[in-house]
Structure 1
Amino acid sequence: MFEILTGTGLSAAAGLNAFIPMLILGLLDRYTDLVQLPPEWDWLANGWVLLIVGVLLVLEIAADKIPVVDSFNDWIQTVVRPAAGGIVFSSGVSSETVTVSDPDTFFGGTAWVPVVIGIGIAFVVHLVKMMTRPVLNAATVGAAAPVASTAEDTASLSLALAAVLLPLLVVVLLAVVVIALWLLYRRYRRPRRVRSSSGRVLRP
């Protein structure tokens, strides 16, 4: 149960920002006892890998806060985020954490299954984000980009930490993220009222 929630939280976080959950897992495994990555995933805690992921995270955070550039970045991330989702889901469900003491309970002999599940979860979250951002930018003339990006980064960080430390909280955080993104999309997607030649206000 906790394994699934851990993997789900990490892969959903990757759908918002590919590098935050990867960095969280690597840092916690390298510098704390909260996460013990299995041998096949311990490269995530390698110092050079952490440095590269950290640099990529800085670039991602910067690009995602600039109107137009953020949409272009989202197209590139269509490959990166789902791939990261597969990595963190698989490494998450097979790691020993403060809440998971028997990581082999699920997916014991089918290593490819969690990777595929993680890819799917991250892709869905990424797709919602990708659809929402252009609508927000168009409605606010780009002013919403840094605000929305900061909120998404915060949600990604919260999901990643909750996935490791308190998996049950993942359900609540996921619901909040999905509902918030959907409401924003619906609100700003509505066409503005236009005026006819007679001066009357036409409502869609």
Structure 2
Amino acid sequence: MLDALSLGAGLSWASGLRLYLTVLLVGVFARLDIIHLPGSLSALASPWVIGAAAILAVVEFFADRIPAFDSLWDAIHTFIRIPAGALLAAGALGHADPTLMTIAALAGGTLAGSAHLTKAGTRALINLSPEPLSNWIASSTEDLLVCIGLALAVFAPLVFLALMIAFVVFAGWALPRLWRGVQGGFRAMAAHMGARFGGSRLTSFGSKRD
């Protein structure tokens, strides 16, 4: 049960950051018999699923590194990562009691949502800066975190679950601040753009009158 809980938490958390990379890694590891998946997740080891996940992971690799477009990508994937995290968390329990699987799905969706919203909020703040290198650094860090997190979830479940508890506490503290930071950044940007274009129109109007 501890292994199943750790696997479910790992899959749902990683899905909130990199869904396609998560499916690809788990499918390949299962295919190589490095990890054992319950029957309810055996489809992840299918060559078709692995191939599709590989293509989408490559697309996401580049999409996530384009400033501003990465926020659009995150917005679209709000409706994909969170439900996927819930399904993977429930599937990690195998054919358990339906009530337990429902609880696992709710917890998995919450964990995936926390990871996704933390990522999306952080990237939105980064996109307020014109410096493009920060997007590559943030994306590469997320890729690395997914790989390390999945490895811990499979091979060191107690350590991973302890880290997940710390992450949930951190996300509860950080998300309201990220939201306020993003709102403040966009207000400042809107005010700057309004002053810039408003000043240009006034200058143009004055020139015409002269």
Q: TM-score scaled by structure 1?
A: 0.74
- The answer to whether structure 1 residue 26 and structure 2 residue 27 are counterparts is yes
Query: Separation in 1 of the partners of 2:10 and 2:133?
Result: 29
- In structure 1, the gaps of 5 or more residues are 95-103, 193-204
**Which of residues 82, 88, 97 is equivalent to 1:108?**
97
Q: Where does residue 201 of structure 1 map in the other structure?
A: none
| Secondary structure, counterpart of 2:97 in structure 1 | coil
Query: Separation in 1 of the partners of 2:167 and 2:81?
Result: 20
- Evaluate the alpha carbon distance shift between residue 129 and residue 65 of structure 1 in structure 2; reply closer, same or farther with a 3 A threshold: same
Q: Where does residue 198 of structure 1 map in the other structure?
A: none
Q: Where does residue 198 of structure 2 map in the other structure?
A: none
Query: Separation in 1 of the partners of 2:148 and 2:130?
Result: 26
- Evaluate the alpha carbon distance shift between residue 150 and residue 173 of structure 1 in structure 2; reply closer, same or farther with a 3 A threshold: farther
Asked whether the equivalents of residues 10 and 153 of structure 2 are also in contact (C-alpha less than 8 Å), the reply is: yes
- In structure 2, the gaps of 5 or more residues are 189-210
Q: AA paired with 1:166?
A: A
Query: Separation in 2 of the partners of 1:179 and 1:112?
Result: 25
**Deviation (angstroms), 1:182:** 4.3
Q: Where does residue 56 of structure 1 map in the other structure?
A: 56
Asked whether the equivalents of residues 17 and 153 of structure 1 are also in contact (C-alpha less than 8 Å), the reply is: yes
- Percent identity, aligned pairs only, is 29
**Deviation (angstroms), 1:5:** 2.6
**Deviation (angstroms), 1:140:** 5.1
| Secondary structure, counterpart of 1:163 in structure 2 | helix
Bigger radius of gyration, 1 or 2?
2
| Secondary structure, counterpart of 2:147 in structure 1 | helix
| Secondary structure, counterpart of 2:132 in structure 1 | coil
Query: Separation in 1 of the partners of 2:9 and 2:74?
Result: 21
Q: TM-score scaled by structure 2?
A: 0.72
- Evaluate the alpha carbon distance shift between residue 66 and residue 112 of structure 1 in structure 2; reply closer, same or farther with a 3 A threshold: same
Report the aligned-residue RMSD: 3.0
Q: How many residues align?
A: 179
- The answer to whether structure 1 residue 81 and structure 2 residue 70 are counterparts is no
Query: Separation in 2 of the partners of 1:84 and 1:167?
Result: 21
